[in-house]
Amino acid sequence: MPTTVMDMLRAYPADLSGVDRDKLARAIEECVTCTQTCTACADACLAEKMIADMLKCIRTDLDCADMCGTTSAVLTRQTAYDVNVTRPVVQACIAACKACADECEQHAHMEHCRICAEVCRRCEQACNDLLGSLG
Amino acid sequence: MPTTVMDMLRAYPADLSGVDRDKLARAIEECVTCTQTCTACADACLAEKMIADMLKCIRTDLDCADMCGTTSAVLTRQTAYDVNVTRPVVQACIAACKACADECEQHAHMEHCRICAEVCRRCEQACNDLLGSLG
Amino acid sequence: MPTTVMDMLRAYPADLSGVDRDKLARAIEECVTCTQTCTACADACLAEKMIADMLKCIRTDLDCADMCGTTSAVLTRQTAYDVNVTRPVVQACIAACKACADECEQHAHMEHCRICAEVCRRCEQACNDLLGSLG
Amino acid sequence: MPTTVMDMLRAYPADLSGVDRDKLARAIEECVTCTQTCTACADACLAEKMIADMLKCIRTDLDCADMCGTTSAVLTRQTAYDVNVTRPVVQACIAACKACADECEQHAHMEHCRICAEVCRRCEQACNDLLGSLG
C-alpha cells in the first residue's frame, strides 16, 4: 500500500505533538490497515457456511474497525494535541484490538481470521508502544 | 429529529446486553447528536473571522465527532456484548466530550460554540451515567 | 432525540450555501437517524435464527450506515460549498438508502427491518427533495 | 504500510463480486491511503500561518477523507454485491478526490498539499479504472 503517513508527518508546518515520531507513524499505519482488514474479516465471516459460529467474530470486527478508524484520525492530528484525549482513545483501541485478536485466533483455520488476528495483534502492540511514550 | 433508538432496542430479537436500557438509549442518542453538532461546530469555527483563535476548538470538535460516532455504533450493537471493549470506548468518549465542552465553553459568546458545549456536556453526562451501570 | 441540526445551521457565522434550509436540515436529520438505525438493523439481523437469509440485509445495512454517515457530514459543512461534490454524494446516498429499503421491506415481518425500511425510505425521500433544489 | 488488502480478497470464502480483482485491490488501497492523507492535510492546513487561504482546502480534505473511508468499506465488502450501490459510491468518491486534488494543486508549494494532491489524483484514477470494469 502506498504509504504517506511519515511523509505527511514530516510535512506538518509546525512543531509535532512531542510524541515519538516513529512510534506514532507505526501506530497510525497499523490502525489504518486494521480498519480495512477488520471490515474485510467481518464480510468474510458473513460468507462462511458456519456463520452461526461467527457472530462474536463479526461483532468484534465491526467494533475494531470503527475504533481503529477513529484512532488513526485522532493520532494523525497534530494541531492542539491533548494527551488527555489521545491516551484514553489509544487505550480503547488497544482493548478493541485485543478482543478482536483473541476472537479471531480461535478461528485461525480460516485464512481471513488468521490474517486479521495477526493484524489486530500488531495494532495492539503498536498502540501499546505508543502509549508508553505519551507524555 | 425522528428517533428510533429505543424502537430498535425493543425490536432486537434476542436478549439485550444487560445494560440499563434507558441509560443506553440516552447515551446512544446523545452520541449521535454530538457527532453531528461537533461536525457543524468545526465548520462554523472555520468561517469565523478570528479563525486563528479557533484552532484548538476545531481540533477537539473533529476528535469528538469521530469518537462519538464510534461510540454510538459500539453501544448500538447488542450481539456478543463485551464490557471489556464497551467500557474503555465509553471512557474515551467521555474524555473527548469533556475536552470539547471545556474548549467550546471558552467561546460561548459564539452561538455555535455555546450550543456545542451544551451538547458535549450532555453527552459526557449520559456516558458517565451509562458507565456507572456497566457490569 | 435532542436535535440541534437547525440550531447549528442558524448559528453558522457566514452565508449558508444557498441550499433550501428546511430541506437541508431535514436531509441531515434523516441521514443521522438512518446511520444509527442501519447499524442497529445489521446487528439485529445477526441475532436472527434465520441468519442465512439475512446476509444481503446485513450488507446493505452496513453500506447504508457508512454512506449516510458521510452524507450527513458533507451536508453539515457550509464552508466552501461545492455542488460538484455534494450532488454525487447525495446521489450515492439515495442509491444506498433505496437498496436498503428494498431489502428490508422483504423482511418487514421482522420489526427491526420494518422500522429500518421506513427510515431508509424517508432518508431516500429527503435526499431526493434536497437534490431537486441543489444549484 | 503493511498491506493485507489482496490477502484478504484471496481469503474470501465464497465467489468474489466479479469485479476485476487487481483494479479492486488498487482502488481499496488508494481509498485507504487517501482517507489518512486528507485527514493529515486538513490538520496541516490548520497549522499554516495563512490559514484564511486554506479554508476551501480544509473543507475538501474533510469531505474527501469521509468519502474515501466509506468507499473503501463498500468496496471491501464482497457479500451480496450490488453494482447499483457500488457505482454511485465510486462516482461520488471520484468527485470528492477530483475536487480535493484540484484545490491542493493550487497550494502545491506547501509540501502537505503537494503530497495530498498526488494521493487524491491517484485515488481518482484508481476509482475511474475500477468504474470502467464494473458490470
- Share the mean pLDDT of chain B: 96
The pLDDT value recorded for residue D18 is 82
Check pLDDT > 70 for residue B27. Answer: yes
The pLDDT value recorded for residue B2 is 54
Q: For a pLDDT cut of 90, what percent of chain A falls above it?
A: 95
pTM score, whole prediction: 0.98
Interface contact B52, partner C, CB < 8 A: no
Q: Which of A43, A47, A55 sits opposite C46 (nearest CB)?
A: A55
The CATH fold of domain A20-133: Substrate Binding Domain Of Dnak; Chain:A; Domain 2 (1.20.1270)
Check pLDDT > 70 for residue C1. Answer: no
Interface contact B41, partner C, CB < 8 A: yes
Cα D109 from Cα C2, distance rounded (Å): 45
Cα B36 from Cα A4, distance rounded (Å): 29
D1-41: pLDDT as tens digits: 457 999 999 999 999 988 899 999 999 999 999 999 999 99
Three-point CA angle A75, A81, A82, nearest 5°: 100
D49-99: pLDDT as tens digits: 999 999 999 999 999 999 999 999 999 999 999 999 999 999 999 999 999
Q: Which of D56, D67, D77 sits opposite C80 (nearest CB)?
A: D56
Where residue A2 falls among pLDDT bands split at 50, 70, 90? Answer: low
A99 neighbors D65 (Cβ within 8 angstroms): no
Interface contact D83, partner C, CB < 8 A: no
Interface contact C85, partner B, CB < 8 A: no
Check pLDDT > 70 for residue B1. Answer: no
A13-29: pLDDT as tens digits: 999 988 899 999 999 99
Cα B93 from Cα B64, distance rounded (Å): 7
Q: Which of B46, B52, B59 sits opposite D55 (nearest CB)?
A: B46
Interface contact A38, partner D, CB < 8 A: no
**A57 Rama sector, left if φ>0, alpha if ψ -120 to 50, beta otherwise:** alpha
Interface contact C58, partner A, CB < 8 A: yes
Q: How far is B130 from chain C (nearest CA, A)?
A: 17
| Residue A49: burial class (beta carbons within 10 Å; 0-12, 13-18, 19+) | exposed
Least confident of A13-22, B33-42, C32-41, D102-111: A13-22
Which residues in chain C are contacts of A43 at CB distance < 8 A?
59
Pairs of CB atoms within 8 A across A/D: 137
Task: Please give the residue that has the higher pLDDT: either A100 or D3.
Answer: A100
* Nine-digit cell string for C79: 464552508
Average pLDDT of the segment spanning A123-135: 95
A35 neighbors A69 (Cβ within 8 angstroms): yes
Q: Which of D63, D79, D99 sits opposite C59 (nearest CB)?
A: D79
- Residue partners of B44: CB distance under 8 A and separation at least 6: B110, B112, B113, C8, C11, C12, C13, C78
Nearest residue to C40 via CA among B16, B119, A44, B91? B16
The pLDDT value recorded for residue A17 is 80
CATH class of the structural domain D19-133: mainly alpha
Check pLDDT > 80 for residue B50. Answer: yes
Least confident of C6-20, C68-82, C112-126, D100-114: C6-20
Which residues in chain B are contacts of A68 at CB distance < 8 A?
none
Average pLDDT of the segment spanning B78-87: 97
